[in-house]
Amino acid sequence: MNEEKRPARRSRRWIGAALLVVLVWTLGAGPLGAFLGRLGEVQTNDRAAFLPVGAESTEAARLAEDFDRGDAVPAIAVWSGEADLTEADLAAVAAVGERVAAEPWVSGDVIGPFPGTEDPSVAQLVVPVDSAYKTSDAVEELRAILADHPVGDLTAQVTGPAGYAADLVAAFAGIDSTLLLVAVSAVLVILVAVYRSPLLPVLVILASLLALGLSGFLVYLAADTGLVSLNGQSQGILFILVVGACTDYALLLVARHREELARHERVPAAVLAALRGVAGPVLASAGTVVLGLLCLLAADLASTRSLGPVVAIGVGAAVLSAMTFLPAALALVGRAAFWPSAPHRPAADTAAATDTVGGTAGDVDRVMAAHPLWGRIARTVARRPRTLWLATTALLAAAAVFAPAFSAQGTGQAEVFRTEVEAVTAQEVLDRGFGTDAAAAPALVVADADHLVAVVAAAESSPTVESAAPVTEPGPPGVDLPPLTEDGRVLVEAVLTVGPESPEAVDAVRELRERLAEDAPDAGALVGGV
């Protein structure tokens, strides 16, 4: 009698343990998902976050932040038409500028209108947006004012740094939820197609979401304490990789669990056998991925370096959820997880013989018979292992030869957007009317204040520099003001003769750095900027 009750007691203990694990994950990691929405609080998305850590431009950007160059972000309102603008058109544009100047988010004077120097059918207003206000909201209100106050048949658009910032915010708004929805939908389709079960995909997706909640909490803590650096790029990749990795590990466990259900009468025994069968490969796979990701710490690019530890945390959370929550959930749900095609339990006379973790000697033949394709592949590999691994190694080595040929070029502001946005189209109109405005994004030179004259002279001697001048103390226009100094340094703005995001600008900056090194070697000049 005691022997008959022993399996029932073991099953009850397994069910109790499984229920405890599910409750810990649901009540623990579930609420932690709120930290996913707070990751933006600990993000660093300035230009330095996407520059090489030890690059000259990174150091120049850091030092340039110490200089107070005003608290306004320029928004450029552009009007364009089919014919040259008349005096009446410019007067109407000026009236709109007066209306815009009354807004509380305008800092200083609205400058313009300026008729196009290259194309008279274009005019612009420069609207300084106070950085104390949310730039995206200010640009949205500015665009609404332009729409409510049309100037004849002219088309009015907004671009400039503020316009690009607003359109970037709009492009990234809800991107995390979009990525998550796409990833979960793809996983759902795959799981339904593979297992044709309505319940099993829900369990796998729930495991992925719990892993994502845990990883979001851990990454938030790490970024908040300064252990890792988080940016928008790393966050987006984290979401996708956690869902993908957890689903991958879950597929291995579920496939093995389905096979074990055909051998074991009791579901907890099948879950334990499946877990023991896949734990080694899953942990080895996760460990390899984590070590590979941590290799990114050796990268020069700051965004790439920060990606490694952030995503490694996500993979750790994924394997933990797949190896703890999912087995417990499968044990609780039982064979109903595979409904309506649940594996048949073994006959009573063979159940006792097969209801063990170790299995039988005919398992390999049984699996090969159930999967003839993989069985043939396995037999082929077993017959010629050395030939196959040598051929595979040679093939991979041949493919790796082309790795050094990969070349990545810089991405301009306009190339960031996949769809047409107003800031980009307006900038194209602005370039048509005024030409490429290199003065809007000058090269920034940080140097010792004692060598200011030599630095300006060296910069202006460069054939790719149109003009160079130090940033001065704030004051009324038209008055000679002393240069602004911070910790014995000055900031010089060098306007290039080429567009700031053009391929020619790369050579221009290199030439400028060489000229400064030759003509002002003691100035400690660092060149950065867009």
Please report whether residue 210 resides in a domain.
yes
* Residues 141, 271 within the same domain: no
CB 230 within 8 A of CB 219: yes
Please report whether residue 398 resides in a domain.
no
Q: Final residue of a domain: which of 330, 357, 384?
A: 357
Question: How many CB atoms lie under 10 A from the CB of residue 168?
Answer: 19
Please report whether residue 197 resides in a domain.
yes
Please report whether residue 380 resides in a domain.
no
* Residues 352, 236 within the same domain: yes
Number of domains in the chain: 3
For residue 147, the enclosing domain spans 72-131+133-170
Torsion angles phi and psi, residue 451, rounded to 5: -115, 25
Q: Final residue of a domain: which of 357, 385, 404?
A: 357
* Residues 84, 200 within the same domain: no
Q: What CATH number did the domain enclosing 91 receive?
A: 3.30.70.1430
Per-residue pLDDT tens over the stretch 345-383: 555 444 444 444 444 445 555 555 556 777 788 888 888
* Residues 196, 278 within the same domain: yes
pLDDT number for residue 8 = 57
Please report whether residue 234 resides in a domain.
yes
* Residues 162, 189 within the same domain: no
CB 246 within 8 A of CB 211: yes
By residue count, the chain amounts to 530
pLDDT number for residue 174 = 61
Please report whether residue 383 resides in a domain.
no
Locate 141 and state its tokens: 């209100």
* Residues 163, 179 within the same domain: no
* Residues 95, 181 within the same domain: no
* Residues 196, 337 within the same domain: yes
Helix 503-519 / helix 452-460 crossing angle, nearest 10 deg: 140
Please report whether residue 363 resides in a domain.
no
Q: Final residue of a domain: which of 295, 325, 357?
A: 357
Q: What CATH number did the domain enclosing 327 receive?
A: 1.20.1640.10
Per-residue pLDDT tens over the stretch 155-205: 999 988 888 888 877 776 666 677 778 878 887 888 788 777 888 888 999
Mean pLDDT along residues 406-426? 74
What is the percent of the chain with per-residue pLDDT over 90, rounded to a whole number?
25
* Residues 232, 292 within the same domain: yes
C-alpha–C-alpha distance, residues 310 and 489, integer Å: 36
Give the residue from 214, 278, 207 showing the smallest Cα distance to 246. Answer: 207
Confidence of residue 264 (pLDDT cuts 50, 70, 90): confident
* Residues 184, 288 within the same domain: yes
* Residues 184, 323 within the same domain: yes
* Residues 78, 164 within the same domain: yes
Please report whether residue 84 resides in a domain.
yes
Per-residue pLDDT tens over the stretch 391-405: 999 999 998 888 777
Listing DSSP states for 154-187 in one string gives: -EEEEEHHHHHHHHHHHHHTTHHHHHHHHHHHHH
